Amino acid sequence: MTPQRQARLVYRAGAISNFVVTIPAFVAYHRYVRSFFREEPNYPFLVWIWSGMAFLWGVSFWQISTDPDAAYPLLRYSWLEKSVTSTSVLVAYARGRVPGRVAAGVVFTDVVWIPAFMSTHARLARSRAGAS
C-alpha cells in the first residue's frame, strides 16, 4: 500500500471515528452524557464545545484524507491534538477529576489514533523525501 493510500484510509477512518463520537452530543445530549457521567455536567455548553471541536478535527481529518500530499503540513497537528487531549484527560482521571468511563472513552477515541497518525505521518514524510 502506498503511503498516500495509507494516509487516505487512516485519516478517513479517523474522521468517521470523530463524527461517530461527537454527533450524539448534539442530537441526544442527555443520553450521551449519561453514558459517561453519573451526574450531568453543570455546564452543558462545555460538552458541546468539546464535541464541536472534536467534530471540527474530524472535518480536518476528512480534508487530509482527500489529498494527503497537499495537506501534509497539517498531519503533525492531528497526532499533537490527540496527544494533548489524551494527556489532559488521563491526568484529570489520575487526579480523580473525571470518571473512568471518560478516560476509557479517550483511550478508544484519541490514544489509539496517536500511533496510527504518527506512523502515517512518518511514512508519508519518507515517501516525500525520496521523491525529491
pLDDT in tens, 57-110: 999 999 999 999 999 999 999 999 999 999 999 999 999 999 999 999 999 999
pTM for this entry? 0.90
Tell me how many domains the chain contains.
Answer: 1
Is pLDDT at 43 greater than 70 in this prediction? yes
- Domain of residue 66: give its range: 3-131
At residue 87, what is the residue type?
T
What CA–CA distance (Å, rounded) separates 37 from 95?
16
pLDDT attached to residue 4: 97
Contact 87, 114 (CB under 8 A): no
d(CA 26, CA 32): 9
Residue 72 Cα distances to 23, 69, 101, 126, angstroms: 27, 5, 34, 12
